Chains A and B, each alone.
Chain A
Amino acid sequence: MPETIAFWSLAVVLVGSALAVVLSKNLFHSVLWLALALTGTAGVFLLLEAEFLAAVQLLLYAGGIVTIVVFAIVVTERLVGERITQTSRRITAGAVTALALIALVVNAISRQPLPTAREPLTTDLTRTIGESVLTRFVLPFELLGVLMLAAMLGAVYFARPED
């Protein structure tokens, strides 16, 4: 029962803040709502007993991405000198597309026989994730390091001072 209450509160926070992200007129407010949505997702991960992923979510998403988005807004809006307002276009078409997609996926989900209960955890999930990252998935893990390096170099190259 406590899980049901926690799930529905998180669902309300997540959906509400996600709507605020796409509907807010002020771009800065959008980013702050995104931070709330990402924190809500960390709560969903906690509910699914994935503590490690909840921490990664908070550090990388809510900490990292929100910070660099705020930087990007400051850089691109300050030079224009306008207020940070943003408008949307084709709201009807967008709403129809999104609602159709949601209806399609929800319909497909409700037709499938899905498990309603889960097995209680017998092992430490964080430990299991760590072990498989460094044994079975060690090659993708190393490739991920290369990708991060490439992304970092690329971002620095793009953002270099004008010569």
Chain B
Amino acid sequence: MGLQAYLILAAVVFGIGLFGVVTRRNTIGILLGIELMLNAVNINLVAFARFSGSEVGMVFTVFAICITVAEAAMGLAIVILLFRVRRTVMADHLDLLKG
């Protein structure tokens, strides 16, 4: 399979993740969409690294995966904190910053 096939697969997964982020009402559902998008980016990085014959893209993927894990931990901690304050995790009801 050529590089093109991997890139298109990653683009489709990214688009599906974007759909989840836009349409989900539950904050945790939105975070799941973000995970899908980050995952698609990692596929791109690994495919480019493998086809260009350089390991730098793969090293970048290792960093990207670690940062994603930190992001997920922080995101879920914020969700739990929001739930404690507002008793809901529905994004529509989280309008504390609305003037």
By a beta-carbon cutoff of 8 Å, the part of chain A in contact with chain B is 3-4, 7, 11, 14-15, 18-19, 21-22, 27, 30-31, 34, 37-38, 41, 44-45, 47-50, 52-53, 56-57, 60-61, 64-65, 68-69, 71-73, 75-76, 79-80, 86-91, 93-95, 97-99, 101-102, 105-106, 109-110, 114-119, 125, 128-129, 132-133, 137, 140, 144, 147-148, 151-152, 154-155, 158-159, 162
Contact = CB atoms under 8 A, between A and B. Distances in A.
Given A18-B13, A34-B32, 15 more contacts: A3-B1, A14-B9, A27-B28, A37-B13, A44-B46, A49-B50, A53-B61, A68-B76, A69-B76, A79-B83, A89-B25, A89-B92, A105-B14, A110-B4, A155-B74
A50 B62 CA distance: 11
A147 B53 CA distance: 29
Of B17, B23, B52, B69, which is in contact with the most chain A CB atoms at under 10 Å from its CB? B23
Interface of B: 1-9, 11-20, 22-26, 28-29, 31-33, 35-36, 39, 42-43, 46-47, 49-53, 55-56, 58-59, 61-63, 65-74, 76-81, 83-84, 87-89, 92
A contact patch SS: helix
Contacts of A64: 69, 72
